[in-house]
Amino acid sequence: MRGSVTTPPTSPQQAYATRLAAAREGLARLDRISARFANARAIAFFSAAALAVAVALGQLPRTAWWGVLAALLAYALLAWRHHQVFLADERERIRVDLNERGLSRLDGRWHSFREKGERFADPAHLYTPDLDVFGQGSLFQLINESATRAGEERLADWLSRPAGAEVVAARQGAVRELAPLLDWRQTLAYEGRLTSKDKANPSAFIAWAEGGPMLALVRWTRPLAWLLPPLTLALYLLGQRGVVPRPLWWVGILAQLAVVVASRRAFGAMWERVMAGEEGFARYERLFRAVEAQAFQHPHLVALQKGLQREGAPPVSDVFARFSRLHGFAALRLSQFHPVIHLLTLWDVHSLFALEKWQREHGASVRAWFEALAELEALACLAGLAHDRPHFTWPEVREGPPDLEVRGVGHPLLERPVLNDVALHGPSFALLITGSNMSGKTTLMRSLGLNTVLALAGGPVCAEAMRVTPMQVLTAMRVRDSLEQGVSYFYAEVKRLKKVLDAAEAAGGRALFLLDEILTGTNTRERHLASREVLKLLLASGSIGCITTHDLSLSELAQEHPGRVHNVHFRDHVEGGQMLFDYQLREGVVDTTNALRVMALAGIPVAPP
């Protein structure tokens, strides 16, 4: 078993702090510049107003109107430049936020992050609810820095199902390369935030891009759009010169009006589809350009980058830049002047057919582009974890029968976890964990489960070293009853265990089961008998795992199944009237319990143990 740690040239704390200081200094500088522009605009405005009043009252000659015009032009130029400062200020604020988030991940304040992945939470999932993969205080909340909903979904998918060894190796190599590239990873998140305030969902844009042409029935308008406006203008000019009757140009206007009316519904439907799918993707040029500009080395990253470039075609960033321009032309529909301009020039015919041409040329590739981007975003999120937790190690993932060996494993969501060594060599092996309440049994199982999830997603793990084979993680820890569905706690436990058993069988025994105090909803004798049977069935499937219990009689299974069931335990001790835990895993069966001590310490008058 081996483990390797990537150590960045500077500590994560220093990296974020340096960038945060620079961003805050940039904000302060922009505030000073903004104040100067505000003062200059005020001077230009009041100068124009004062000159205008003076001319109107006869205090200055009429030629002073040129001074008014100059002052207004100066005001317009200053307003434009001031707007650029506001945009730069927005960019610096995003940089401040990104680096503050980085520091929050380091000091435990990441629990306040808004995006928790609740939309991916499934109470019936085989392990995500029990292992805090999604929701408040979850793994997803800690590592998610995706820029699009597609990237968010890709990361959630990786955390929700294990990948094979070959896929893990490709992801792991890519993540290791991306981990020290903090500037590039922040650029990816930064450009995504600039593109859309809320994470843009490319699915609607992809649906439009892959959709069939919508303007086939009004294709007849294209030659008319090139012919009628110049002809109408020529008739107008000739009429002014007396070459043709002056009213004749109205024939052209009426013909253009007929085109507008006849094509109105088709162009309206096309524009609605474009607007429904756009969601800021007209500005994705910069994000794709950041991907294209990075010199990657790992084959997986190189392949993803090449997926954004078709042979003989322009870079994707240029394709999106063109879409942005075309969309800008078509967006004249949102202007109050659109009806007049469209009537005189048949503007929509030109702009929307140009968008349809873009759709025809590039629509079939859009899905692949966003899938490559989503993959890069998910890899960047795992790379962020590797960067922020340099003490995490890279697990060894190899194909084979179910096997898990880990040295110094800790819970990846705890700031200072206690480390333990665990070996589950399969097939058909289980640890039976006994111990007092609050001694660390469940935390150990969550540590094993969550690190296995991370390892099989392609990320680093909270351990000194780890070796694992691809397998399905199965848990039964937080079973709840349901009054709404008329399900008792015991029946809810049984349903969950049935699901675990079925999944273990379906996985061909390539599964890691983690069962916490199962079947507590029934009496002691039946719980003992049923727990034995459940464990036997899981071992019969070839699976490996852990089961915690307060039923010390279950420890007899180690004698009944030598080499297949092994007893380990956690313990506590009382010191100075306080119950203390060291959270260290020990061999054998626990020989003490603490239920009465816990009650006594809580103030319940029970007889001391």
**Considering the domain boundaries, does residue 354 fall inside one?**
yes
In the prediction, which pLDDT does 582 show?
Answer: 79
Interval 413-426 mean pLDDT: 92
In the prediction, which pLDDT does 487 show?
Answer: 52
Shared domain check, 485 and 356? no
State pLDDT tens for residues 321-337: 899 899 889 989 988 89
**Considering the domain boundaries, does residue 337 fall inside one?**
yes
CB 96 within 8 A of CB 187: no
Would the pLDDT of 594 be above 60?
A: no
Shared domain check, 231 and 181? no
Encoded tokens for 250: 């109205």
Q: How confident is the model at residue 313 (pLDDT cuts 50, 70, 90)?
A: confident
**Nearest of 414, 404, 372 to residue 142 by alpha carbon:** 414
Q: Is 466 helix (H, G, I), strand (E, B) or coil?
A: strand
Would the pLDDT of 262 be above 80?
A: yes
Shared domain check, 242 and 161? no
- State the pairing for strand pair 586-587/565-570: antiparallel
Shared domain check, 439 and 581? yes
**Nearest of 362, 376, 363 to residue 303 by alpha carbon:** 376
Interval 104-128 mean pLDDT: 93
**Considering the domain boundaries, does residue 2 fall inside one?**
no
State pLDDT tens for residues 150-159: 899 999 999 9
Report the mean per-residue pLDDT for the chain: 88
3-state SS of 391-447?
Answer: CCECCEECCCCCEEEEEEECCCCCCCCCCEEEEEECCCEEEEEEECCCCCHHHHHHH
Higher-scoring residue by pLDDT: 244, 406: 406
In the prediction, which pLDDT does 552 show?
Answer: 80
Shared domain check, 182 and 326? no
Shared domain check, 216 and 169? no
Domain that holds residue 593: 396-601
Phi-psi region of 583 (alpha: psi -120 to 50; beta: other; left: phi over 0): left
In the prediction, which pLDDT does 583 show?
Answer: 82
In the prediction, which pLDDT does 483 show?
Answer: 43
In the prediction, which pLDDT does 603 show?
Answer: 64
In the prediction, which pLDDT does 197 show?
Answer: 64
**Considering the domain boundaries, does residue 493 fall inside one?**
yes
Interval 6-12 mean pLDDT: 64
In the prediction, which pLDDT does 282 show?
Answer: 64
**Considering the domain boundaries, does residue 607 fall inside one?**
no
CATH code, 575: 3.40.50.300
Phi-psi region of 335 (alpha: psi -120 to 50; beta: other; left: phi over 0): beta
In the prediction, which pLDDT does 517 show?
Answer: 84
In the prediction, which pLDDT does 235 show?
Answer: 92
Would the pLDDT of 417 be above 70?
A: yes
**Considering the domain boundaries, does residue 195 fall inside one?**
no
Domain-ending residue, one of 321, 353, 379: 379
State pLDDT tens for residues 482-523: 444 445 777 788 888 999 999 999 999 999 999 988 877 666
Shared domain check, 78 and 50? yes
Measured distance CA(376)–CA(389) in Å, rounded? 20
Model confidence, pTM: 0.86
In the prediction, which pLDDT does 9 show?
Answer: 54
In the prediction, which pLDDT does 405 show?
Answer: 96
State pLDDT tens for residues 190-200: 888 877 666 77
Shared domain check, 298 and 409? no
Domain-ending residue, one of 131, 157, 190: 190
Shared domain check, 287 and 164? no
Interval 279-286 mean pLDDT: 71
Shared domain check, 226 and 113? no
State pLDDT tens for residues 356-403: 999 999 988 989 999 999 999 999 999 999 999 999 999 999 999 999
**Considering the domain boundaries, does residue 74 fall inside one?**
yes
Measured distance CA(564)–CA(438) in Å, rounded? 27
Would the pLDDT of 348 be above 90?
A: yes
Would the pLDDT of 596 be above 80?
A: no
Shared domain check, 92 and 26? yes
Domain-ending residue, one of 190, 213, 232: 190
* Amino acid letter, residue 302: V
- Domains: count for the chain: 3
State pLDDT tens for residues 62-108: 888 999 999 999 999 999 999 999 989 999 999 999 999 999 999 99
**Considering the domain boundaries, does residue 561 fall inside one?**
yes
Shared domain check, 461 and 329? no
Measured distance CA(447)–CA(433) in Å, rounded? 14
CB 47 within 8 A of CB 140: no
Measured distance CA(551)–CA(106) in Å, rounded? 40
Q: What is the sign of the dihedral through the CA atoms of 145, 293, 364 and 206?
A: positive
Encoded tokens for 502: 């079925």
